[in-house]
Structure 1
């Protein structure tokens, strides 16, 4: 018997000097709380704090993370036989659990679940409390008492096992949470499956499932896979269909059911999952980093995943499904769950299983040295629990020890500042691979990202392993992506503001400007706007209006990632993967995301759909000259034209893909000429000059708008060259979406945008600036 505990009261406790004076009495008395939940969302629901996602309200709620909080509830004991226990799937973070005045236990790890036997219960009125100490104060106290030097900015989140980005990141606010962030319940059992760990393999033509179980109480374990009863702990499925990533095949899933039965046949406990049969391998021969599924190497087309909300309990199955659909819709076949966040809920991985999206899972260490002596016991416990929990999912294909800690060791002065002190390497090189080897031997493990395949080799050696490429955004122009060919790129990215609707829903500056207070508050990167300006300068004239700033930075983000991905893909098989930073955001912010904090796609999202397509046509510079590559398909020839910006064809030829273009395709006047290549429905452009230097003609076009039930079709017919035409209907209606963006039209060509919205829009507004925008 299981009884969910969802209705609680939360009250501030202890020293309330940080609490605003007008709230002290109310918070001492307590307000209604919801589980799963957090203090922030409970106070927001009670109308006691402003929404921290809006304007600069984040600054007004910092006291929450500096305060202790007590959650309280009462429950009656159900009339069921058996031993009672309280189960907590997630406690955030430093907690004391008390029942009827007795301390059941204390915790200090957000990334674990807990179960406490209750002993005898009252028939009515059992009083349960969970008191959370301030995570900020706890981490500060630990850091102050430890010799490990500070090598990170801000709070010492490396001293507590909590979602690191709660303390702020270069795309996220500082909102240090507390609460029961995953479900809590009372369980009464006479026998239970304490742990179920299936190991799924493919042997020849058979699928083999070996299930390891731990049982509390008495009972017989029975295992069925696809209706087949196991012999002992192993079931063999003849000729199963193989599970593939969606870019390579289908995703057949098979039911796995494990039951614990009493001697009389009564079912005491049941554990069910859907599993898939597939093999996965990582080839690192001669420095390579090649992921294979079912023996088929793949060029990974990926994106990094961060927590989709600063308050993760708000991300439900429907929201996971929407994000994963957005990833799949742009041909992303792998999501890397980044190490500064959380082990996501089961719904995330199950949705990836169903949709064929691979998962690279970081262990939860990011960008900081970690005190091994303080954290070792908790790290092992959380690793063991989560490896067992996630191992049944066929979508999970790689474990990774940390994010950017080897980068810190080699490039952030750690070696000098740490002076020989342990910093986490034992976790990444010994503890975690041992846990994975013991509990999940079917999957590869790497110690970190970036990782040059040896702890003795510079983590950023492009000839080995997986790389992070950030010097373009931080220091150089994105044309520099072409200077090296890494074996695999697990992080690279370029910033842009969120969609206009998302920005203006969150920021209410008057006037709105790139440097207005609210816009700047929603830019968390160090010198972020300065880097945006320096990134624009080589390519575009300085924007004169906010609308131009917003549009050009979104275009520049898409251009940067297009250039990088096409470069990396054109160098396969030396380079065998690109994982863009990042798919999603956790709040409304200027960031590297393709989908903003309100779930709206930025122009980058549409660009990913093109550059991650199975078939890609691209023009690339090579030492022997410009070369047309057909990636993923094999046309006999590609039609290439050199054209003037006024529409004249200056040269043309049908060329074999992979061969350098002849001298007739060299620019006579770079400011007034460009190349266009066509193969079937695939097209590629090459402009010889940057936009600020191109003599674009004054755009001339005709347009028409046709309404239909649920939206509009907007057709643009170009009479002149029009580059990167976009339609931004979210400027007119918050629910409005459009089906594509950034289309370049030659004279005489047309594009029809499909806008979906429930709003009634004026046709003229849909074809006027800044809703309709292009490069001028």
Structure 2
């Protein structure tokens, strides 16, 4: 009988699909009350390869051995890239030609098994801190927990109470295909080539939370700071307490912020109540943007107990600061932080194209933000992971998040009632999530348009329910909303090449008022970076054919070829004669225009009438290797545009004004002086003057050179004669002239051009180089031993002689120009692990 029973059992087992689990659980659900665990990774498979439904896929015994292991956060395509399915995806047109977009027109399954113990009196919740792009079915142990009618949209958070088994459990998430015009997703708009999977996937953590009979949610600290004294602060501490039982309970909530406290709250059966308390802080440690002060953080800790037993815990950091938003006398958006004026000097942030979780890269990119001298990042519809905001809090970088343009987020006429519910849930989730971060300055309810009244009310009501106290802005353009009124922004653009003097004009896009996004478009990386993602034929077209469509520009016909950037380069500097010649000239183009944009806003921030109150450079970084819209390229090798921007953003700075030839000393103090020297290209000194400085402002005027091309050197010295800042311009007696009458929203044509062709005939300067290098730093001293100007000299640090360049690296200066006999020292710092064991080697070019 035993043999017969065993035989029958084997026959029955063979008829059940996939009954053996090959991959054993590698993590466990929380083992104590108040704990949270995140799923560490996933097993991924297309539904076209899975002939069964969620009731089978989510059984613990289902066999997923043939599935692909992918990281815990990324899109479907990002997971496949991480698993090695698509090597070199960013090279040439590989993403378009080697990835079949049709594979992502069907749902994909994410699956994970895990262990759970039995904990008497506890409850377990499946927590989605943010939505899944675009919608999903959630299955656990053969049972559907929620469908796409509930789990929809990129942002809404969800908590589902789930019954776990003692032993092995299985979670399966069926993610549906994405369409950014039909669903609330994350779209990269015209910022890059679109990812073939349209960003579908599990892009934020999925967590398991264990509590007792009650749980804590949405812990927050509302801060009220005395301004301008900053000597006291009032903290209002709030959280929701949810009762998961069928009886009323009295809950004791203990906690600490600036000191300990406790409050009792009665929570009805299956209901929620808000616990609230206040604390008063004398001489608070105030949070400032990094250029204005320190970034101290406080810690909020809460514990809820019932009948003397802990039921749930939560903790988070917060900062004490005060933000004020207002329209100035000229109708421009303006900000104060802690009672002091705050001029936004910012750029647009772009996440990874596949929403991959690369924290070291994010730290490096935010380090570049501070190195550049930017103080703000704008996040358009890419609200990022919690760690991003924590880094910004600690680094003192101000953030302006908001919803995106152009996709369904802005096609309000297509919204159904279900869409309104998703939009409201998105705002509630982000409102609770962001408000404790002192780095957050505001939130944009719209981007390229202001939301209509019904949509605006949905957002305003949602944010109000979270106790949101920061400014809510209607749009980045000159559109007013019904409730919030005028935006105080003057309009977006330009987005493509403009000459440096454009930013000194009093037309839209110039350096006055508040500019939500604009920039000069094309941004050409250095040669080694270009060769890492472009083929020889693509590189040939890059320097020879301005009208050729470049895959590493936008898919948009407005921005898919170099066009006027190339023509301006060829006219101003001479037609390129080789790829190397084109790249050199492009660095000059990017340097001069980026410097001018930031210098114009810096200067005009000081003027009493129609000042510049803010500017968002479009963009900071890229989602993939690209030829436009960045201050540093995807390889993170800083190029000409980076150092031009960095020069223009120096807080203590001497600069030239393209509109009236004046010389300004920003951030200067009494006792300093400015030396202004004008050189002809043959080395003749046209003029040389030194004037004292009495505070920030205009200090001198440049005497124009006689040649069509000439050079200006500005030196700002302190009272001891030490050079505090150094700035070199190449100028022309032939001005750049634009044709405003023929301009469009994205482009401003030119009718005449500056003449810099004389630079191409400069003799090559002879430099002597001495350097001291270590595992983390290089100091390079350059001396011009020749009788010629050593123009626009670039210094780089490499992994051994002839090896790849080390990036990221933080340089004190680069692309420097030295006059005969002049000596300049530049330094770089970098992470030792980037050397890979090689000896750091300096190259000068």
Aligned to 2:791: 723
Q: Is the 8 A contact 1:84 1:188 kept in 2?
A: yes
Give matches, 1:426-465, under 5 Å: 426=453, 429-451=456-478, 465=488
In the TM superposition, residue 455 of structure 1 has moved relative to its aligned partner by 7.1
Q: Which SS does the other structure have where 1:108 is aligned?
A: coil
Aligned: 1:123 with 2:173: no
Give the 3 Å change call, closer, same or farther, for CA 346–693 of structure 1 in structure 2: same
Residue 325 of structure 1: which of 356, 359, 367 is its match?
A: 367
Residue 386 of structure 1: which of 426, 430, 453 is its match?
A: 430
Aligned to 2:493: 470
The CA deviation string for residues 483-536 of structure 1, in whole angstroms up to 9 with x for no partner, is: 224302221223213344433333344684344999932222523322431342
State how far apart, in whole Å, the 1-side matches of 2:538 and 2:442 are. 47
Aligned to 2:822: 749
Residue 385 of structure 2: which of 334, 340, 345 is its match?
A: 345
Aligned: 1:585 with 2:622: yes
Aligned: 1:552 with 2:594: no
Q: Which SS does the other structure have where 2:416 is aligned?
A: helix
Q: Which SS does the other structure have where 1:647 is aligned?
A: coil
Aligned: 1:169 with 2:223: no
Aligned to 2:561: 528
The CA deviation string for residues 125-170 of structure 1, in whole angstroms up to 9 with x for no partner, is: 43432111211xxx3xxxxxxxxxxxxxxxxx232111111x7634
Structure 1 or 2, whichever has the larger Rg, is: 2
Aligned to 1:609: 646
Unmatched tracts of structure 1, length 5 or more: 18-25, 140-156, 407-423
Q: Is the 8 A contact 1:261 1:268 kept in 2?
A: yes
Q: Which SS does the other structure have where 2:366 is aligned?
A: helix
State how far apart, in whole Å, the 2-side matches of 1:441 and 1:48 are. 43
Q: Which SS does the other structure have where 1:306 is aligned?
A: coil
Unmatched tracts of structure 2, length 5 or more: 1-29, 31-35, 52-62, 244-248, 264-275, 718-722, 734-753
Aligned: 1:766 with 2:766: no
Aligned to 1:95: 136
In the TM superposition, residue 655 of structure 1 has moved relative to its aligned partner by 4.1
Give the 3 Å change call, closer, same or farther, for CA 760–206 of structure 1 in structure 2: closer
Aligned to 1:492: 518
The CA deviation string for residues 282-313 of structure 1, in whole angstroms up to 9 with x for no partner, is: 12033122211111002222121111x11223
Q: Which SS does the other structure have where 2:356 is aligned?
A: helix
Aligned: 1:568 with 2:601: yes
State how far apart, in whole Å, the 1-side matches of 2:299 and 2:170 are. 40
Q: Is the 8 A contact 1:172 1:586 kept in 2?
A: no
Q: Is the 8 A contact 1:706 1:714 kept in 2?
A: yes
Give the 3 Å change call, closer, same or farther, for CA 29–293 of structure 1 in structure 2: same
Aligned to 2:5: none
Q: Is the 8 A contact 2:104 2:196 kept in 1?
A: no
Aligned to 1:263: 307
Aligned to 2:675: 639
Give the 3 Å change call, closer, same or farther, for CA 172–555 of structure 1 in structure 2: farther
Q: TM-score normalised to the size of structure 1? A: 0.83
Q: Is the 8 A contact 1:402 1:447 kept in 2?
A: yes
Q: Is the 8 A contact 2:549 2:560 kept in 1?
A: no
Q: Which SS does the other structure have where 2:540 is aligned?
A: coil
Q: Is the 8 A contact 1:32 1:46 kept in 2?
A: yes
In the TM superposition, residue 400 of structure 1 has moved relative to its aligned partner by 1.1
Aligned to 2:207: 185
State how far apart, in whole Å, the 2-side matches of 1:510 and 1:728 are. 27
Give matches, 1:366-445, under 5 Å: 366=406, 368-370=410-412, 371-373=414-416, 375-405=419-449, 424-426=451-453, 429-445=456-472
Give the 3 Å change call, closer, same or farther, for CA 8–320 of structure 1 in structure 2: closer
Give the 3 Å change call, closer, same or farther, for CA 512–181 of structure 1 in structure 2: same
The CA deviation string for residues 89-127 of structure 1, in whole angstroms up to 9 with x for no partner, is: 342222111223322112221212222222x44334434
Give the 3 Å change call, closer, same or farther, for CA 13–758 of structure 1 in structure 2: closer
Residue 669 of structure 1: which of 699, 703, 706 is its match?
A: 706
The CA deviation string for residues 712-760 of structure 1, in whole angstroms up to 9 with x for no partner, is: 6554322322332223456742436472322122222123444665676
Q: Is the 8 A contact 2:793 2:817 kept in 1?
A: yes
The count of aligned residue pairs is 706
State how far apart, in whole Å, the 2-side matches of 1:272 and 1:206 are. 23
State how far apart, in whole Å, the 2-side matches of 1:101 and 1:700 are. 74
Aligned: 1:247 with 2:282: no
State how far apart, in whole Å, the 2-side matches of 1:5 and 1:685 are. 53
Q: Which SS does the other structure have where 2:335 is aligned?
A: strand
Aligned: 1:86 with 2:157: no
Give the 3 Å change call, closer, same or farther, for CA 684–52 of structure 1 in structure 2: closer
Aligned to 1:628: 663
Aligned to 1:315: 358
In the TM superposition, residue 602 of structure 1 has moved relative to its aligned partner by 2.7
State how far apart, in whole Å, the 1-side matches of 2:538 and 2:571 are. 28
Residue 58 of structure 1: which of 81, 95, 110 is its match?
A: 95
Q: Is the 8 A contact 2:449 2:479 kept in 1?
A: no
In the TM superposition, residue 449 of structure 1 has moved relative to its aligned partner by 0.7
Q: Is the 8 A contact 1:428 1:448 kept in 2?
A: no
State how far apart, in whole Å, the 2-side matches of 1:581 and 1:169 are. 10
State how far apart, in whole Å, the 1-side matches of 2:64 and 2:208 are. 27
Return 597-606 or 748-757, whichever deviates more: 748-757
State how far apart, in whole Å, the 1-side matches of 2:468 and 2:205 are. 30
Q: Is the 8 A contact 2:133 2:154 kept in 1?
A: yes
Residue 46 of structure 2: which of 2, 12, 27 is its match?
A: 12
Q: Which SS does the other structure have where 1:208 is aligned?
A: strand
Q: Is the 8 A contact 1:280 1:294 kept in 2?
A: yes
Q: Is the 8 A contact 2:765 2:791 kept in 1?
A: no
Aligned to 1:418: none
Q: Is the 8 A contact 1:306 1:586 kept in 2?
A: yes
Return 281-290 or 682-691, whichever deviates more: 682-691
In the TM superposition, residue 441 of structure 1 has moved relative to its aligned partner by 4.2
Give the 3 Å change call, closer, same or farther, for CA 355–714 of structure 1 in structure 2: closer
In the TM superposition, residue 249 of structure 1 has moved relative to its aligned partner by 0.9
Residue 226 of structure 1: which of 239, 246, 258 is its match?
A: 258
State how far apart, in whole Å, the 2-side matches of 1:697 and 1:597 are. 32
Return 746-755 or 184-193, whichever deviates more: 746-755
Return 449-458 or 547-556, whichever deviates more: 449-458
Give matches, 1:295-310, under 5 Å: 295-307=339-351, 309-310=352-353
State how far apart, in whole Å, the 2-side matches of 1:46 and 1:436 are. 39
Q: Is the 8 A contact 1:254 1:276 kept in 2?
A: yes
